[in-house]
Each structure stands twice: as C-alpha cells, then as structure tokens.
Amino acid sequence: MLVLVGTIPTPGLPLIQGRVRYNDALQIGNDLEIPGARLMHCTTAMMAAAAAVCQTLGYDTPYGVTAGCIGDGSGSRLLYKFLTEEAERLGADVLTLHYIVPQSKLIKQAVDSITAWRKRPILIGDAGGMYAVKAAGLSPLFDLFTPDPGELAFLSDADALHPAYVRHFISEVDTTDMPRLIQRAYEHGDAAKILLVKGETDYIVRQGEILTTIAEPNIAAMEAIGGTGDTITGIAAALIYGGYDMVEACQHTALINRIAGQLCDPTPATQIGEIIAHIPQALEQVLQKQAGAVHA
C-alpha cells in the first residue's frame, strides 16, 4: 500500500483517512472532497498527483491520512499520534510524510515506531515532514527526500532547525551551487539515501553522488506556480510503490512533471490542478519512450 500523510490548511478539520482518488476532484475516503480548481500547493497537490499516477497505471489506490493545521500544530499532532500508534495496521509498502509542523519529540517517536514495524516501508519525506526529520537527526533513515534549492540549503546547514533559520536567505540560494550543497548535506548526515532536488535543473543523487541532471523541457512559468514541487513528490511515491527502481522513478518523475507542465502551456497564473490534469498524458509519453528505447 502507498500511504500519503500530511496536513492541509483547513482549520478544525479532524483526522481524515481513506483511499485517495482523483477525477476532477480529490477525494480522501468518504469524508473529504476538494474540487480540482481548489487544490493548493500542499498535501492536496501531492495526493492528487499520486492518485493520478496510480489510476493511470492500474496500481492499487493510495491511502491518505490528513488533518487540518494552520501552524498551531493541532492537526500535526493528530498525524504524529496516528503514525506512532495506528499506522502499522495499514501495511504500508511506501510511506510519504509531507506537510506537518516539525516537532522533534513527536517525529522521533513516530520514526522509532515505524522503523520497528514488522515490515519496514520505504520512507519518503518532503516539506514539513522533511524539515522535522532533518531537525531531529533522522535523515539517514529515510530513503528519499525531494527538496527544492532552498530546502537543500537547509539540509546543507548542519545547525539550522528550519529553513527560516538557514544561514543564507533561501531567496539568495545560488542554484548553480547545488553540487556543493548536496555534498555538505551528506557530510553532515542530513540527507536521505536518495535526493531528487527539484528546480530549474533537477538533480538525482544517491549517497552524495550526482547520478544525472534533467533540465528539459524547461517551462519557465512552472517556477512561479505553487504546487509543482508537491506533484513531484506524489509522482515519485506512486512510481516507487509501483515497483520502479528508486533512481529510475526519480528520473521519470522529473520528466513527467516537466512534460505535464509543457502540455498545460502554463502562465504564472495557472493553478496546480490544471497541471495535474495532464499527468496521465505525460506519464504515457515518458513510459512509452522508455519502452521504445528498451526494444530499439
């Protein structure tokens, strides 16, 4: 099972869990439905992208767990409690931790619990989940992080507990300096086994070694659209769940996300739901091209 965990900015929303489906609207179990036009750059975009991939490729439907949180930690505490006390029963093969308020004691309890499960899942972290894991010194236990350049700067700063406290402002990160930041993150033990660094150029890294970079197609407008990094996390999680090698899944993911944007022909005003709608077509293009290369 692919399990997707993260909060959404809806005040007072209780813990919601269930199968995740996406067809013009994101549905989580029987209790929450969000129209595609209202998807945001957060857990909702990640879940919708993962569901789109699973539906297109015929994988089992993902399982989502969410709660409302607007920074006060209330919904995040519900998710930490679920991960620590209840999540093992789901039998997750892949578990993705996304938007959640970093709380060191609670993330340690959750990760300690998960790593003690009879069947240890592949662990993926992004956004607040990644921040929490890094701040608690647990990064090497995770299999994949999907940081953007600013988040990579945070991972590379051994003393930073949150991206807001990174030594140099995120807005000033030199995107040509990615190799140095990648190396520093691994030197400090603050990176997962594999990184998919998402940005103008995507870097796929394993244990500090840059395996490949992807810069085309270059859709400049995507840099201004909230949620395009969240879709990368969802696509990668779904492909890994489907059995793709983790590095291969990251390579495909970078291309799929870019091509979905290209098919959408976006402007900075484009909403993330419009790009997610093109993921099935982009997915088919990338995987058909791969199949053609194999048989050539």
- Which residues make Cβ contacts (< 8 Å) with residue 3, sequence separation at least 6? 62, 63, 64, 65, 87, 90, 92, 94, 95, 96, 121
Sheet holding 122-125, edge to edge: 32-35, 25-28, 16-22, 63-66, 2-5, 94-97, 122-125, 144-145, 194-197, 202-206, 209-214
Picking from 211, 168, 166, the residue whose alpha carbon sits closest to that of residue 190 is 166
Picking from 234, 263, 291, the residue whose alpha carbon sits closest to that of residue 49 is 234
CB 257 within 8 A of CB 232: yes
Q: What is the pLDDT of residue 169?
A: 44
Q: What is the pLDDT of residue 41?
A: 76
Cα 63–Cα 67–Cα 68 angle in degrees, nearest 5: 145
CA distance 172 to 163: 13
Output the CA–CA distances (angstroms, integers) from residue 220 to 67, 196, 216, 229, in the order listed.
33, 19, 11, 14
Extract the tokens encoding 97. 């931790």
For the chain, 296 residues long, give each residue's pLDDT as a single digit of tens: 999 999 999 999 999 999 999 998 999 999 899 988 888 778 999 999 999 999 999 999 999 999 999 888 999 999 999 999 999 999 999 999 999 999 999 999 999 999 999 999 999 999 999 999 999 999 999 999 999 998 999 999 887 666 655 544 444 555 668 999 999 999 999 999 999 999 999 999 999 999 999 999 999 899 888 899 999 999 999 999 999 999 999 999 999 999 999 999 999 899 999 999 999 999 999 988 776 665 44
Output the CA–CA distances (angstroms, integers) from residue 77 to 112, 114, 137, 173, 206, in the order listed.
16, 16, 19, 32, 32
Rg (CA), the chain: 18
CA distance 95 to 87: 10
Q: What is the pLDDT of residue 47?
A: 97
CATH classification of 2-295, choosing from 3.40.50.2300, 3.40.1190.20, 3.40.50.2000, 3.90.1150.10? 3.40.1190.20
Cα of 93 vs its chain's centroid, Å: 16
Domain boundaries, the chain: 2-295
Q: What is the pLDDT of residue 223?
A: 85
- Which residues make Cβ contacts (< 8 Å) with residue 177, sequence separation at least 6? none
CA distance 110 to 107: 5
Q: What is the pLDDT of residue 249?
A: 98
Q: What is the pLDDT of residue 291?
A: 67
Q: Are strands 16-22 and 25-28 parallel, antiparallel or unpaired?
A: antiparallel
